[in-house]
């Protein structure tokens, strides 16, 4: 359980989307232009000269790592580097990214060298071994973050991205059906399969490409009402026809498919989300499309063909034009449409399957790049396996300090913060630079971190409050599940950290010892452990409560009204599945495909539906709700599983992301019942003016 994971679960609990501000692309300023000109200098073509800047940077990093400043000097250097980083991260360009990378490496190298030389005691004993173990855990955490960042920034595969829920305008595509040797029937089958995707969100312009200029295919295309494209010069390459069609088209995207391929109705819905979320994606194709070279052995070993009905290619027309059109020579590993788009800054990808999951394979025609990405992904998985060890070290280190007096970081708090804060902040800035295409993502991440801290505190308070209420009012709320006992180790750890808190505060209150700076540091560490474990307990209990409710409500009383006006009672076994399984108290002789009336009972409600018997076996029936009653049946399921007012509040409420939401007005009314209603909107408006503009809501 991490703070960001808690935010994700909270938003999933309340059905809230991830609030992202309007994208703010990187600016183009003097540093961007200067970096572009620097990269175009002809001197970089001299063999070995490109390694000189790297050697100079390494020498400078070694020098800066070994220089030891006093506390004031360390803060001045760190703040200066951070201010420069925040200023230049607004601009685009490779030079800016390299500068941020250099600042992060220098800050991390200085922190690591200082931790190794100044915070580990010279005596070889148990405390030294534990301190060394904590230092190794920090190195491991840095390695894990680096691999995770690289995997996210340059993924080998990407999972499907759904299309926009409500596109503002219909997607216009050119569909090029290549009929090299295909028959009229094959063309019709392909065209029909694609038109099944047609609707309010798609507009197709069909073109039948016949390089052999057959009169039969021409007449069939005219009969279908689609454009027929050929060339008077024979023989003709189909790639020439593709370039001809797309050069005179105005549509943004094109689909190229060979006649005879019957595509799945949802092939655009499952693939086009990648184009909407990645403006640099120029080409997406199945691995064995005829305009691309055969897939490499690496792709063949790792991935299989996708189950979307056949071979197709989707491309962005602007990417094709900027790449100079489709190459006319035979496709090879060196010269092909994918590598040409990569040279112009566009990405190409395969759509394939990995372990029966549809995935996008990035840059498959650049085999060395794909191999490196797959290697990074494998290393990230290997390193992540030891993550539980890192978690246990983080939870136990404060306890070793409070109970065994093992100080694993022998330094002062100001000096530790002077080295640790720049190390973390510079890595944070670099990570956002690598993984995002907008400079505003840095401040969005800061906002998310602050909101995550708030959710941790709110979840811990709600956990204690809900447990107390459930034990006081057993008749109104269900008691905690027996599975709570299986979560003893988080409870034990929380108890130990609270005891350590109590020990330090009791000694300070009675004047037996002053709270030192390192004690405050370890107490803050313990507080984060307590909040994280409390969030884990709250999420676990919420999941158990949901599972118990599902199991409890799967069995609802049911009454069957047969065609002969006889009735029979029973219970459901898998509600709200549209194919219901019913358990009857006695055998009933019924035939499949018999229509019956079904009444379900919940609380004081009764809902009736038409159903069709699909399977009858002694005391068990399987029925399917008819399509005309599907909407009402789904509405009943939502009503049955809706959470009432007695549902335990394990996670913060719906308005937790609003500083002063409807709950604030309710609390004000409760404390000041005589306050006039007209005074509340101006009060809320004042707080919104101070703390940010938010969407207006009607007061309850």
SS3 for 114-172 is HHHHHCCCCCCCHHHHHHHHHHHHHHHHHHHHHHHHHHHHCCCEECCCCCCCCCCCCEE
- Residues 109/65, Cβ–Cβ less than 8 Å: yes
Spell out the residues 6+ positions from residue 124 whose beta carbon is closer than 8 angstroms to its own.
none
Place of tokens 């409807």: 662
Sign of the four-CA dihedral 10, 14, 17, 19: negative
**For residues 275 and 256, what is the distance between their CA atoms, to the nearest angstrom?**
16
Q: Residue 269 has which token pair?
A: 């819905």
Distances (CA, A) of 268 to 162, 173, 194, 275, 319: 10, 11, 9, 11, 19
Distance CA 193, CA 171 (A): 17
How far is Cα 182 from Cα 263, in angstroms, rounded to an integer?
16
The CA distance from 631 to 613, in Å, is 19
Other residues' Cβ atoms within 10 Å of the Cβ of residue 117 = 10
Q: At what angle do helices 413-435 and 94-118 cross, to 10 degrees?
A: 150
Burial class (CB in 10 A: 0-12, 13-18, 19+), 529: buried
Nearest residue to 583 via CA among 569, 596, 598: 569
Closest Cα partner for 110 from 357, 421, 366, 405?
Answer: 421
Structure tokens at 698: 């009607």
3-state class of 394 per DSSP? helix
Where do runs of H (alpha helix) occur along 198-307?
A: 215-224, 238-247, 267-271, 273-277, 297-302
253-258 and 281-285 strand pairing: unpaired
The closest of 263, 436, 287 to 360, measured between CA atoms, is 287
Q: What is the pLDDT of residue 475?
A: 44
Q: Which residues is 254 bridged to in the sheet?
A: 174, 315
Please write the tens of the pLDDT for every residue from 546-594: 787 777 777 888 888 876 677 888 888 888 888 888 888 877 777 778 8
Q: How far is CA 405 from CA 130, 331, 402, 530, in A?
A: 12, 69, 6, 20
Kind and range of the H or E element at 441?
Answer: helix 441-472
- The CA-based angle 280-191-178, given to 5 degrees, is 65
pLDDT at 105: 93
Token code pair at residue 164 = 């926009």
Q: Which among 270, 338, 291, 284 is positioned nearest to 314, based on CA atoms?
A: 284
Compute the half-sphere exposure of residue 639: CA atoms within 13 Å on the CB side of its CA: 14
Count of CB atoms within 10 A of residue 155's CB? 16
Q: What is the pLDDT of residue 23?
A: 63
Cβ neighbors of 528 (< 8 A, separation 6 or more) are 456
Nearest to 495 by CA among 403, 389, 393, 388: 403
Cα(587)–Cα(585) distance, integer angstroms: 7
- The whole-number pLDDT of residue 77 equals 92
**For residue 681, what are the contacts with CB-CB under 8 A and spacing of at least 6?**
699
pLDDT score at 1: 66
How much is the mean pLDDT over the chain? 82
Q: What Å distances lie between residue 141 and 31, 108, 111, CA to CA? A: 33, 13, 14
Distance CA 122, CA 115 (A): 13
pLDDT in tens, 75-116: 999 999 999 999 999 888 888 989 999 999 999 999 999 999
Annotate 42-98 with DSSP letters as a single string: GGGGSTTTTHHHHHHHHHHHHHHHH----HHHHHHHHHHHHHHHHHHTTB-SHHHHH
Is the CB of residue 254 less than 8 Å from the CB of residue 185? no
> How far apart are alpha carbons 347 and 158 in whole angstroms?
13
Long-range contacts of 685-688 (CB under 8 A, 24+ apart): 687/659, 687/660, 688/660
Give the Cα separation of 271 and 258 in Å (integer): 18
Within the chain, which residues score under 50 in pLDDT?
Answer: 475-486, 674-680, 682-700
Q: Which two tokens stand for residue 437?
A: 């295409």
Helix orientation angle between 3-14 and 441-472, rounded to the nearest 10 degrees: 70
Backbone phi, then psi, for 178, in 5-degree steps? Answer: -90, 115
For residue 297, give both structure tokens.
Answer: 């052995």
């Amino acid at each position: 359980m991490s703070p960001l994971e808690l935010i994700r679960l909270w938003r999933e609990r309340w059905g809230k989307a991830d609030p992202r501000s309007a994208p703010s692309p990187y600016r183009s300023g003097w540093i961007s232009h200067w970096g572009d000109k620097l990269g175009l200098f002809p001197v970089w073509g001299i063999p070995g000269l490109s390694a000189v800047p790297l050697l100079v940077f390494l020498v400078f990093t070694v020098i800066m790592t070994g220089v030891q400043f006093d506390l004031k000097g360390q803060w001045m250097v760190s703040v200066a580097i951070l201010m420069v980083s925040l200023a230049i991260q607004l601009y685009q360009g490779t030079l800016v990214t390299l500068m941020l990378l250099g600042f992060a490496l220098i800050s991390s190298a200085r922190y690591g060298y200082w931790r190794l030389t100044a915070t580990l005691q010279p005596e070889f004993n148990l405390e030294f071994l534990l301190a060394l173990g904590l230092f190794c855990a920090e190195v491991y955490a840095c390695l894990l973050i680096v691999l995770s960042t690289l995997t996210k920034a340059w993924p080998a595969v990407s999972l499907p991205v759904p299309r926009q829920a409500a596109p503002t305008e219909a997607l216009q595509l050119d569909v090029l059906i290549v009929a090299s040797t295909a028959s009229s029937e094959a063309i019709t089958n392909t065209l029909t399969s694609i038109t099944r995707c047609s609707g309010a969100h798609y507009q197709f312009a069909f073109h039948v490409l016949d390089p052999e200029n057959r009169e039969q295919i021409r007449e069939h295309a005219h009969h279908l009402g689609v454009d027929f494209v050929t060339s008077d010069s024979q023989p003709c390459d189909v790639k020439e026809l593709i370039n001809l069609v797309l050069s005179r088209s105005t549509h943004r995207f094109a689909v190229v498919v060979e006649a005879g391929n019957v595509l799945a109705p949802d092939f655009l819905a499952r693939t086009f989300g990648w184009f909407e979320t990645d403006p640099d994606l120029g080409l997406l194709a199945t691995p064995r499309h005829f305009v691309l070279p055969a897939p490499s052995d690496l792709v063949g070993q790792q991935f299989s063909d996708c189950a979307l009905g056949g071979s197709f290619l989707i491309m962005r027309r602007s990417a094709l034009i900027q790449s100079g059109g489709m190459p006319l020579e035979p496709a090879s590993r060196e010269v092909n449409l994918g590598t040409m788009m990569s040279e112009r800054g566009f990405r190409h990808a395969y759509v394939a399957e990995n372990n029966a999951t549809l995935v996008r394979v990035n840059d498959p025609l650049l085999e060395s790049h794909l191999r490196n990405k797959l290697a990074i992904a494998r290393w990230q998985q290997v390193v992540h396996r030891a993550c539980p060890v890192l978690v246990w070290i983080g939870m136990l280190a404060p306890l070793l300090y409070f109970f065994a007096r093992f100080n694993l970081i022998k330094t002062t708090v100001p000096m530790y913060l002077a080295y640790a804060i720049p190390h973390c902040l510079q890595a944070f800035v670099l990570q956002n630079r690598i993984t995002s295409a907008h400079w505003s993502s840095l401040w969005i991440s800061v906002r998310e971190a602050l909101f995550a801290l708030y959710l941790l505190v709110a979840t811990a308070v709600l956990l204690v409050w809900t447990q107390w209420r459930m034990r006081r009012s057993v008749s109104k709320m269900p008691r905690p599940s027996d599975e709570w006992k299986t979560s003893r180790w988080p409870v034990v750890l929380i108890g130990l950290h609270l005891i350590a808190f109590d020990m330090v505060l009791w000694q300070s209150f009675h004047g037996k010892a002053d709270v030192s700076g390192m004690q405050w540091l370890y107490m803050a560490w313990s507080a984060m452990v307590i909040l994280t474990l409390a969030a884990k307990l709250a999420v676990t209990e919420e999941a158990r409560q949901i599972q118990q409710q599902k199991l409890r409500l799967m069995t609802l009383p049911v009454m069957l009204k047969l065609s002969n006006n006889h009735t029979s009672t029973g219970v459901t076994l898998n509600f709200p599945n549209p194919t219901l399984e019913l358990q009857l108290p006695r055998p009933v002789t019924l035939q499949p495909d018999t229509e019956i009336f079904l009444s379900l009972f919940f609380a004081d409600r009764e809902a009736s539906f038409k159903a069709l018997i699909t399977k009858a076996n002694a005391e068990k029936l399987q029925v399917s709700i008819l399509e005309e009653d599907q909407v009402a049946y789904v509405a009943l399921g939502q009503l049955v599983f809706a959470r009432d007012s007695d549902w335990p509040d394990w996670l913060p409420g719906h308005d937790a992301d609003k500083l002063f939401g409807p709950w604030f007005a309710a609390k004000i009314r409760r404390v000041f019942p005589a306050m006039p209603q007209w005074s509340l909107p101006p009060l809320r408006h004042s707080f919104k003016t101070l703390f940010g503009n938010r969407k207006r809501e009607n007061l309850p």
